[in-house]
Structure 1
Amino acid sequence: MNELTPLRARARVVLLMSLVALAALYVAWFSHDANPWAEWLVFALPPALLALGVWRRRRTAGFWAAVLALFWFSHGVMVAWSRPPERGFALAVLALAVVVVFAASLPGLQSRFAGKRKG
């Protein structure tokens, strides 16, 4: 079944947009460093590659996005707690990481509980 249900299509679009926003946020966050290439490689490249995978409908892209979102969330909490000047970027990363986890998990949850609906 290659056809996406409306909920799955919306979750895919939300996942794609949140990954692109996360990559752009990391690029903006580290753009003021003297040599930002290492940070971009570690932080901005993974969500950009996962966004490409979601766009190309790779089956595992959503799973890996949710797994890496746990890392992004943890990093955001650490930075928000320890570096007040960067707290705005960190809180934005926290929000996007939560969106990534829910958008990546929603189709699986829908499939898991689809047969148990009463009505």
Structure 2
Amino acid sequence: MNDPTVLRARARGVLLFSLVTLAALYVAWFAGDATPWAEWLVFALPPVLLALGGWRRRRTAGFWSAVLALFWFSHGVMVAWSRPAERGFALAAVALAVVIVFAASLPGLQARFGGKRKG
């Protein structure tokens, strides 16, 4: 049940799903703008590229996902606080950013703290 390879595979699956969901959220969020291309390039393209890298098992995809998730989290908190009309999208982005950080960090945490049990 605590097999590290199963944990890594599940965390990778959650990470990929969360990245794709975040990209879809940003596409929906900015679809009503007059020119959404700039927002899509800045907000929707990076999670898609990171999901592609994670799907291709690039070693740094998880790290960069967690780093950029800190930006997505901060942006979501700022928008939720300052623009009540967009609060739903912003809080969804915050929740997905938290999931991305944990999913990207879980294999490393398990490797660090999940040593062999004695007994």
Give the TM-score of the pair, scaled to structure 1. Answer: 0.94
Shift of 1:118: 4.4
**Alpha-carbon distance in 2 for matches of 1:36, 1:59:** 31
Identity, % of aligned pairs?
85
Q: CA RMSD in A?
A: 1.1
Aligned residues: 116
For 1:77 and 1:55, locate their aligned partners in 2 and report how far apart those are by CA, in whole Å: 28
1:43 maps to 2:43: yes
Q: Which runs of 5+ in 2 are unaligned?
A: none
* Length-normalised TM-score, structure 2: 0.94
Aligned partner of 2:6 in structure 1 is 6
- Worse-matched range after superposition: 109-118 or 18-27: 109-118
Structure 2: distance between partners of 1:117 and 1:101: 27
The whole-number CA distance in structure 1 between the counterparts of 2:36 and 2:94 is 21
Query: 2:73 corresponds to which letter in structure 1?
Result: F
Give, in angstroms, the shift of residue 115 of structure 1. Answer: 2.0
1:90 aligns with 2:107: no
Match of residue 115 from structure 1: 115
Distance 2:117 2:93 in 1: 34
Structure 2 counterpart of 1:32: 32
Q: SS in structure 2 opposite 1:5?
A: helix
The change in CA–CA distance for 1:115 and 1:85 in structure 2 (over 3 A counts) is same
Task: Report Cα offsets for 1:60-85 as digits up to 9, x if no partner.
Answer: 00000000000000000000000000
